[in-house]
Chains A and B, each alone.
Chain A
Amino acid sequence: MNNHDTALIFELSKEGRVGYSLSGLDVPEVSLDSLIPSDYIREEPAGLPEVSELQIMRHYTALSKRNHGVDSGFYPLGSCTMKYNPKINEDVARFPGFAQIHPLQNEETVQGAMEMLYNLQTSLAEITGMDEVTLQPAAGAHGEWTGLMMIRAYHEANGDRHRTKVIVPDSAHGTNPASATVAGFDSITVKSDERGLVDLDDLRRVVGEDTAALMLTNPNTLGLFEENILEMAAIVHEAGGKLYYDGANMNAIMGYTRPGDMGFDVVHLNLHKTFTGPHGGGGPGSGPVGVKKDLIPFLPKPVLKKKGEGFTFEYDRPQSIGRVKPYYGNFGINVRAYTYIRTMGPQGLKNVSEYAVLNANYLMRRLEPHFDLPFTQHCKHEFVLSGRRQKKLGVRTLDMAKRLLDFGYHPPTIYFPLSVEEAIMIEPTETESKETLDEFIDAMIQIAQEAEKSPEVVQEAPHSTVVKRLDEAMAARKPVLRYVVK
């Protein structure tokens, strides 16, 4: 490894080098001063790097080598569904007829794109058991907010302005209460019972006339199916609230059950999880929202409709919550998701959930002798171990996660859900082979043994990565958020 592996692109810059090629100006040049007032003409050029094309390619290739993706190795990051990202999706999304079209072209010139979107929203409605789907939200959190805004509009249209509370389980992801806040609600917590499921008595205690909605993932963040879902739906509905489904864990149930049939009124999906839109290092995602009939009037604008043989965007929606995003959502991700759905079909999607769940249960049972398993029933697509046994030996879950890096794995989600001490949340997905799972099991068992026999090996991990553990406290105390260009 040489120094250049870690150089910032700015540090490679040398005056006079270029990495671009523009056509020469083919119109008569006019003095800039005659077009723009001098106060508004930039004095100093922006301090961007001056590098050649090969330097750029080497720079980013070097960076890519310092990054772990699903294509690099196993990525059992719980709650994130790190499955294979099909290559055909990438090819299709780059077709000029999808990539090089403008959102404001006349509708007649983009009918193929609208047909694709219509087919996708219809497919997602069927998969989730909902009556109508909007593809506009850009990501899961954006979908949550959109769904909650619709629930608020629904209650307000009924004169129910006092419904200000959104109930979330104590095991819920932090995004749920954050979305509730942005949608103008207060969130309150409902407890889990000893089996990791929502405590029905506590739910009965917290619902009331101020209940706007209950937000739930099912299977929940412990990977457990909320088997009392119908009772929960009845409790919330009787109180006049709506049931919101966080689709983060949809990968577990396709073709087995549908949120719409469980009694959910609003559903969001993460197309970048279950439906293989790549995670992209943090995005872009896509977070469609499905609703039952009584919420259709509140869908964000515009709504894509079939009209005769063609398709049109409908804007005249007086009860709509309005726009949630310019244009029509993250179209490019929606293209990828639709390509995936057409690759798998009904049987394939059911197999996806079957194998995702079998893989998770296999891992769980094989690891059960070596780690504490707080909830022992069959899991769905993911499960949560506790590292408390190893913690007593002085090895924390964080240490074990770092040790996994030495084996070439991305570690599981750790310290979440908060309700489990030293949580290790593992989601293998259906695209991993048994051989990969077996190798991972061996690594986990070895680490459990190291925790007993040579804890320092784990405590000091990672040993093989390009950097050792980083000083996060310093990063937050004295933030350096940009390079100062010289």
Chain B
Amino acid sequence: MTFRYLPMTEQDKKEMMEAVGIGSTEELFKDIPEKVRFKGDLQIEEALPEPELVTYMSSLAQKNRNTKDFASFLGAGVYDHYTPSIVNHVTLRSEFYTAYTPYQPEISQGELQAIFEFQTMICELTGMDVANSSMYDGGTALAEAALLSAGQTKRKKIIVSKSVHPESRAVLQTYANGQFLEVVEVGTKDGLTDLDELKTAVDGETACVLVQYPNFFGQVESLKEIEEIVHNQKAMFVVSSNPLSLGVLTPPGKFGADVVVGDAQVFGIPQGFGGPHCGYFAVTQKLMRKVPGRLVGQTVDENGKRGFVLTLQAREQHIRRDKATSNICSNQALNALAASVAMTALGKQGMKEIAVQNIQKAHYAKNVLAEKGLKIAYEAPFFNEFVVKLNGPVKEINKKLLENGMIGGYDLGRDYPELKNHMLIAVTELRTKAEIDKLATVLEGL
């Protein structure tokens, strides 16, 4: 059998073996001890020709209910947003997607410049001085922010609000275990971080306080009050933020955040069953040399022409080994490119318009649901998500919604026992008034 990715012909093989001085390629594997030589065939499925493969993979894909065919009200950290067509056309330029990390700057100026622009856009949105070239996702970026804070303050207590994404908190706990750090969770009151509880928890041992803005319930945390509590104890203020919301919300940098992290999935990156997305990591100037991951910097070439390189690499694992600020190497470069294209397409005006539309549509949905007699759990200002109390299990209600062509919201009872039968509903700019009205009608009848 021949394979379309393997150009080796019998003639090539013969000539090459001659040059190497062997009579069989088996000789090249003689250093593998007989005892561990694999005999026989790997027990995996046989190769499929391209047409059959497309049919098969497509049959697997078709078993899934997708958000193109169903109107989705599911968010909880991953969102169905407008993706300009141009995003896909750029990310399919194979000069980008078949390249490695830009370690040879002379032939990687395209990637390097694109990332430099990404770093700039993230700084602009978050109101921070420095942003890196991306992290795996928002959850691991948050965990890395905690590690950075512990290193910077030489303190071991990490405080996180329960209004931070439950899966991010779970990831944080695992990273904290790795570094022998203590994680203290602060409760919520009316769907916002309980400031009294926070005040009591933060002390001279606290490395950082982690909050989410808008938080997991969609509500706008009082960053101003939280900042005072955090900085009074000289702890680090870490804010995880949906960057699309920052088209309209005051950026965390304005409230004195030391580190801002989050996920740029909202900018042109498919939900893709949870990944790959695109974590971002932004800090103040003071923390520039503590940032995990890769940074692109501007410089000049021998002729004084502007160019870009990976820089401040003394922080990184391949140079510092066990003393590195983080072990991250591969990041999400291609998705950072996708996010850059989407942010560019939206531009100054579109970024605001899309954020405003999310607020408007989500508030319309809240009002319609309330009018239908559904109980809205919280009353604080919110972005594009809010919590409703339902009359039955969310899982069952979502089945009914699916029958009506909709993907329902997130079952908060999974993470918050006190929120049994509570649904977190996301309404993005893509949801039409008709879809929202239909959601209200169907929910009313359940």
Contact = CB atoms under 8 A, between A and B. Distances in A.
B224 A39 contact: yes
Contacts of A139: 136, 328-331
Given A23-B429, A42-B251, A257-B38, A331 B273 contact: yes
Interface in A431-486: 431-434, 462, 465-472, 474-476, 479-483, 485
A64 B110 CA distance: 5
A454 to B, nearest CB: 19
B272 A99 contact: yes
Interface residues of B, number: 203
A253 interface: yes
Interface in B111-144: 111, 113-117, 119-121, 123-125, 129-131, 133-134, 136-140
B19 A362 contact: yes
Contacts, number: 697
A178 B320 contact: yes
Contacts of A75: 100
Interface in B10-60: 12-13, 15-17, 19-22, 25, 27-33, 35-38, 41-48, 50, 53-54, 56-60
Contacts of A112: 59-64
Nearest to A111: B63
Contact of B136 (A183, A284, A358): A284
Given A37-B381, A127-B44, A110 B37 contact: no
Contacts of B357: 22, 25
A324 B171 contact: yes
Given A99-B271, A325-B139, A483-B116, 8 more contacts: A19-B344, A27-B436, A46-B348, A88-B50, A103-B273, A104-B76, A144-B327, A362-B20
A65 B109 CA distance: 9
B382 to A, nearest CB: 8
B318 interface: yes
6 contacts: A9-B344, A100-B67, A182-B178, A254-B42, A327-B273, A430-B5
Nearest to A380: B28
A262 B36 contact: yes
Given A282-B330, A339-B53, A344 B248 contact: no
A284 B334 contact: yes
B299 to A, nearest CB: 4
A102 interface: yes
A6 B110 CA distance: 9
Contacts of A63: 109-111, 113-114
Contact of A51 (B98, B344, B398): B344
A84 B324 CA distance: 32
B351 interface: yes
A244 interface: no
A365 B21 contact: yes
A187 B288 CA distance: 27
A182 B327 CA distance: 7
Interface in B371-403: 381, 395, 398-399, 402
Nearest to B65: A109
B165 interface: yes
Contacts of B395: 106
- Which of A39, A57, A108, A467 has most B Cβ within 10 Å? A467
A395 B175 CA distance: 45
A354 B348 CA distance: 53
A362 B28 CA distance: 11
Contacts of A141: 317, 327-330
B333 interface: yes
Contacts of B286: none
- Which of A101, A113, A272, A327 has most B Cβ within 10 Å? A101
